[in-house]
Amino acid sequence: MSEMLDQRGSWLSDDELSSARERLPIVYVDAVPVRVDERGVVTSVGLLLRAMPDGSISRAVVSGRVLYGERVRDALIRHLEKDLGPMALPRLAPSPQPFTVVEYFPSPDVTGFHDPRQHAVSLAFVVPMGGDCAPSSDALDLAWVSPQEAVSLEFEAETSGGQGRLIRLALAHCGVLP
């Protein structure tokens, strides 16, 4: 079992975080939760329904900051458990490797990945889930959809900030882009 991270000194106050976001890229992880069959083929994608900072509602993958002193693997587990519950049972490799690096900018014109609050660099992972997943109190819903549905125009229209494109990249990486 991994050593617990002492988070007391790792969190920034709201003012400190706001100041840092104005001056530095912030490191994040994005996790696309999936269900796989016995051969490891993706059969469904888990998409959260969230209230966004601007008040809109959007479909999203699991995402969050990496804390100072925190391993990327531990950040992934922390965010997956926070968003999908303690019984989600993510199946992570001992040393997980991202399928892509995503750069979010305050302007949507730079990369197509957009976060109006900040410049963020995110390591993106596809994570098979082995247990029961339930949306956290921060999420309104969790829907498991087929890869075809996940990249449909309907679901892509429900995403924001480039998340639809990220889901498409994840499925292409897994060889199941319809």
Q: Where are the domains of the chain?
A: 27-173
Q: What is the pLDDT of residue 22?
A: 75
Does the structure show a pLDDT above 70 at 7? no
Q: What is the pLDDT of residue 177?
A: 85
- Whether residue 163 contacts residue 70, with contact meaning beta carbons closer than 8 Å, is answered with no
What is the arithmetic mean of pLDDT over 60-89?
Answer: 95
Does the structure show a pLDDT above 70 at 10? no
Higher pLDDT, 108 or 22: 108
* Among candidate residues 93, 100, 92, the one with its CA nearest the CA of residue 28: 100
How many Cα atoms occupy the beta-carbon half-sphere of 175 within 13 Å? 4
> Token pair of 138, please?
């921060």
- The rounded percent of the chain whose pLDDT value lies above 90 is 76
What CATH topology corresponds to 27-173?
Nucleoside Triphosphate Pyrophosphohydrolase (3.90.79)
What is the arithmetic mean of pLDDT over 40-57?
Answer: 90
Q: What is the pLDDT of residue 2?
A: 43
Count each helix (H run) and each strand (E run) in the chain, helices first: 5, 7
- The rounded percent of the chain whose pLDDT value lies above 70 is 93
Distance CA 60, CA 76 (A): 15
Give 1's pLDDT tier (boundaries 50, 70, 90): very low
Q: What is the pLDDT of residue 11?
A: 66
